[in-house]
A and B are shown apart, each in its own frame.
Chain A
Amino acid sequence: MPKAIKNIELTNMPENIEGLQLYDHVFILLRYHGKPVGKVILPVKNGALRLADHRDEIHKAVEGPIKFAAVDHFLFSDLKHKPLSEYRVTVAICTRNRAADLKLCLDALMKLPQKGQEILVVDNDPSDDDTKNLVAQYCSVKYILEKRRGLDVARNRAIKEAGNEIIAFTDDDALVDPNWLEALLKNFEEPLVMCVTGMTMPLELETKGQEAFEHYSSFGKGFFKKRFSYFNSDPLAAGNVGAGANMALKKKLVNEIGWFDEALDAGTATHSGGDHEFFVRILLAGYQIVYEPEALSWHRHRRTWKEAQKAIMGYGVGVYAFWTKLFVVDKQYTIIGFPKGWLLHSQLPNLVKSILRRGGRYPLTFILLELWGCLKGPFAYFKSRRRLTQTLKEQA
């Protein structure tokens, strides 16, 4: 039961969407004068979607965010926004053996307005030359080979190589919206804002695996812009802040809070968590992170069921791995409440719902794999740390 993905502009809504013979539902991103304000999933009838039949659902989906979007439009649309400061930016993509995906990613980046941005591809421990050859076709893209495996290793390398003050990260399997970079950048005007995260939507929902993954762990953090700081939200709850697949940060941040922890994230035993652990350190140092839904990127979830399962277990491992670090290394003892909260308010209810086969349930295997991942997390962290120390020793 694949879903089509569509964008609808509310101020210029078509009557019908045709040509949906292959789909039974449509996932729609709703925009108001280009600004994302909501999403809705609507059923296809006879290969088409009659939007007029779903007015109420659409209205409900944008309630809240549209209020601010409409008032902002009314008040400010005739004014030209004069940026208080101009930034130059480096866009970095960390990739490993995914040349076909990377091509789409780079093509989307080429469509961004040219403001002198630098584009870096960090090729992480590749098994062939495909990525290198692909990048060679783009004269404006810089290729960097990082032999040491690990997403956080690659991120750190990108920061070291970046020629500009701000570095924006996108994943190799994501396509950015034309307004993406501008939307991220406009939030850096205030000196305490050190990091901005964007909103991620699914690029395609063609397979069972992609649909289940989107349903289970949607990257979307909502349509309200948010500002996170130590003083308005718990800095340890970094999952709410966003994800490394769509974020930008100031280079000088690493002088203040250190580098991405190379014992964490993809390519190590911990599978994920490197971005969230970094967000926690930003907030603990008293800096701010802005979540900007206008900085939109479209993520192509893994297509097979097996890959979706792997990603979900990896998520469980990563979360517990970085929590372990917070507890043991950073002595943030209140982190103890988080596993309990997650288990009691989310994991267990979902498990029960799944076993009782209630509506809106998640696949049982996902839940069990996530739990299994959680159990492995703390061990994975120590294992990964030991390996990292060893590698660094061998190199030295």
Chain B
Amino acid sequence: MSCIASIIIPTHNRSASLKKLLDKLHQQGFPFQNFEVVVVADGCHDNTVEMVRSFKSAFKLSLLELPGLGAASARNAGAAIASGNWFIFLDDDMEPCEEFIEQHIKAHSNDNTVVIGYSPLRLEKKASVQRMSLRHWWEDKFQEMRKQNHRFKYSDLTSGNFSISANLFKRLDGFDTSMKCREDYEFGFRLIEAGSQFQFAYKAVAFHNDEITSFHRSLLRKREEGRADVQMKNLHPHFINKQAIHYLNAHSFLKTVYLKLLWHIPSVLDVSAKAAEHTAVLLQKLKLRSSWLNLNYRLHEYWYLRGLFERLNSNDDLKEIQVGTIAVNENLVCIIDLMEGLQNAEQKIDELKPLAVIVLYKKELGTISYEGGYEQIKGIHLRKILKEQFTNELYSGLKEN
């Protein structure tokens, strides 16, 4: 028997917060007979399994046990036994609002949509600066997606709160289980390339009670991300690694030496990085803001590059990962002239569906180039992109009037 929605929750030793989440699902306005919950206990050795078994629910609740295969495998396994038409993925540290399921389902217009929910990070009182910066990062991401003219990209897919039709999920074979980190970005990439439509549902709120992302974990994670991004590039040659390009920008002599050192003898700086980590903790305690911000940035850069370099085998690989533009077939480039009016330009983009756009206004302003993992450019994106990319060029044209 199939129901409308399956809530799939991978979990790893967080019985208390999972219990809270299940309680919240009991408060859903959505009819209980219309959804089911699938908990995938992955490598749990606390009382998660007993808790779920003894949980008395008014909705259908299934439990799957896995030996610790990671989040991607756990989500796929949950999806394999789920019977709903729509899969809603939730992390175990989320607290959904009452209309959560309804808002997700409502936002889907067809089989081809992916709906991303809003997951504001909840901070404890007197949160550390590190945690505040985490909230800042998440919030920027969500507020950007909230704008109507936002052009979605692979990294907008946040696996802790999103929904997708069962058909689309199965058609793409779900998450890539070889990814141990950034499996959500990778899935997002494939979804976008397959032409699915991303949507953001600001009202599909699930509060994010992430209490474990500490400074140290954040650095460990950064190294994982460096490794994962090499994997991403291997899987998707059209992926432009902006983070690596940014970090590898050798803007000074010192930076050049540092990068060379890190490339040739990777682990030699680990000891200083450890010491720097302790220093950073101390700086934070002493409330020395700018020194802390600086060191924090450097440490994240360091561990990202460490991870990246670990997986790059040759100088050619290193060059490859820094490629910033991807050439596209000339037939898929369109030229728009803003002198003909913005609405005309928008229409032209919507009709021709180009991969890249050359923008003219009295003279050539520049090119909106193709990027892998970015949603097909639409007319509605145009004005925002023009503002972000061509304010100076556009103004020099406007001044002539």
Q: Residues of A at under 8 Å CB distance from B?
A: 67-68, 70-72, 74-76, 78-79, 82, 84, 190-192, 229-231, 234-235, 285-286, 331-334
Interface residues of B in 91-130 (CB under 8 A from A): 120, 123, 127, 129
List the A side residues contacting B133 at CB < 8 Å. 230-231, 286
Known: A70-B395, A231-B133. A75 touches B139 (CB 8 A): no
List the B side residues contacting A331 at CB < 8 Å. 287
List the A side residues contacting B398 at CB < 8 Å. 70-71, 74
List the A side residues contacting B123 at CB < 8 Å. 286
List the A side residues contacting B139 at CB < 8 Å. 190-192
Contacts A/B (CB < 8 Å), 16 sampled: A67-B391, A71-B394, A75-B387, A76-B383, A78-B342, A190-B139, A230-B132, A230-B133, A230-B136, A234-B289, A234-B290, A235-B289, A285-B132, A286-B135, A286-B136, A333-B287
* CB of B288 closer than 8 Å to a CB of A: yes
Q: How far is the CB of B11 from chain A (nearest CB, A)?
A: 28
List the B side residues contacting A190 at CB < 8 Å. 139, 143
**Contact call A191/B391, Cβ cutoff below 8 A:** no
Closest partner residue, chain B, to A230 (CB atom): B132
List the A side residues contacting B298 at CB < 8 Å. none
Q: How far is the CB of B395 from chain A (nearest CB, A)?
A: 5
List the B side residues contacting A234 at CB < 8 Å. 289-290
Interface residues of B in 265-307 (CB under 8 A from A): 286-290, 293
**Contact call B383/A75, Cβ cutoff below 8 A:** yes
* CB of B236 closer than 8 Å to a CB of A: no
A71 interface neighbour in B135, B143, B391, Cβ under 8 Å = B391
A84 interface neighbour in B146, B290, B399, Cβ under 8 Å = B146
Q: How far is the CB of A390 from chain B (nearest CB, A)?
A: 29
List the A side residues contacting B286 at CB < 8 Å. 333
Interface residues of B in 342-401 (CB under 8 A from A): 342-343, 383, 386-387, 391-392, 394-395, 398-399
Q: A70 to B390: give the CA distance in the assembly, Å.
A: 13
Q: A78 to B346: give the CA distance in the assembly, Å.
A: 13
List the B side residues contacting A68 at CB < 8 Å. 391
**Contact call A72/B289, Cβ cutoff below 8 A:** no
Taking chain A's interface residues, is the majority helix, strand, or loop, or is none over half, making it mixed?
A: loop
Q: Residues of B at under 8 Å CB distance from A?
A: 120, 123, 127, 129, 132-133, 135-136, 139, 143, 146, 148, 202, 286-290, 293, 342-343, 383, 386-387, 391-392, 394-395, 398-399
List the B side residues contacting A333 at CB < 8 Å. 286-287
List the B side residues contacting A231 at CB < 8 Å. 133, 136, 293
**Contact call A334/B289, Cβ cutoff below 8 A:** yes
Question: Which 6 A-B pairs rank lowest in CB-CB distance, beginning with the nearest?
Answer: A286-B132, A75-B383, A67-B395, A190-B143, A71-B391, A70-B398
**Contact call B127/A286, Cβ cutoff below 8 A:** yes
List the B side residues contacting A72 at CB < 8 Å. 387
List the B side residues contacting A286 at CB < 8 Å. 123, 127, 129, 132-133, 135-136
Q: A332 to B286: give the CA distance in the assembly, Å.
A: 8
Q: A334 to B289: give the CA distance in the assembly, Å.
A: 8
Q: A192 to B293: give the CA distance in the assembly, Å.
A: 20
Q: A71-B394, A334-B289 are in contact. List 20 more A-B contacts (CB 8 A).
A: A67-B395, A68-B391, A71-B387, A72-B387, A74-B394, A74-B398, A75-B387, A75-B394, A78-B342, A192-B139, A230-B133, A230-B289, A231-B136, A234-B289, A234-B290, A235-B289, A286-B123, A286-B132, A286-B135, A331-B287
**Contact call A192/B136, Cβ cutoff below 8 A:** yes
Known: A286-B127, A334-B288. A75 touches B395 (CB 8 A): no
Q: A71 to B286: give the CA distance in the assembly, Å.
A: 44
Known: A72-B387, A231-B293, A286-B135. A334 touches B287 (CB 8 A): yes
Closest partner residue, chain B, to A69 (CB atom): B395
Q: A70 to B386: give the CA distance in the assembly, Å.
A: 13
Q: How far is the CB of A191 from chain B (nearest CB, A)?
A: 7
Q: How far is the CB of A282 from chain B (nearest CB, A)?
A: 12
Q: A123 to B293: give the CA distance in the assembly, Å.
A: 44
**Contact call B342/A75, Cβ cutoff below 8 A:** yes
A229 interface neighbour in B127, B136, B343, Cβ under 8 Å = B136
Q: How far is the CB of B234 from chain A (nearest CB, A)?
A: 33
Residue from the set B133, B135, B136 with the largest chain A CB neighbour count within 10 Å:
B136
Q: How far is the CB of B207 from chain A (nearest CB, A)?
A: 12
List the A side residues contacting B129 at CB < 8 Å. 230, 286
Q: A231 to B135: give the CA distance in the assembly, Å.
A: 12
Q: A76 to B392: give the CA distance in the assembly, Å.
A: 16
List the B side residues contacting A192 at CB < 8 Å. 135-136, 139
List the B side residues contacting A78 at CB < 8 Å. 342-343
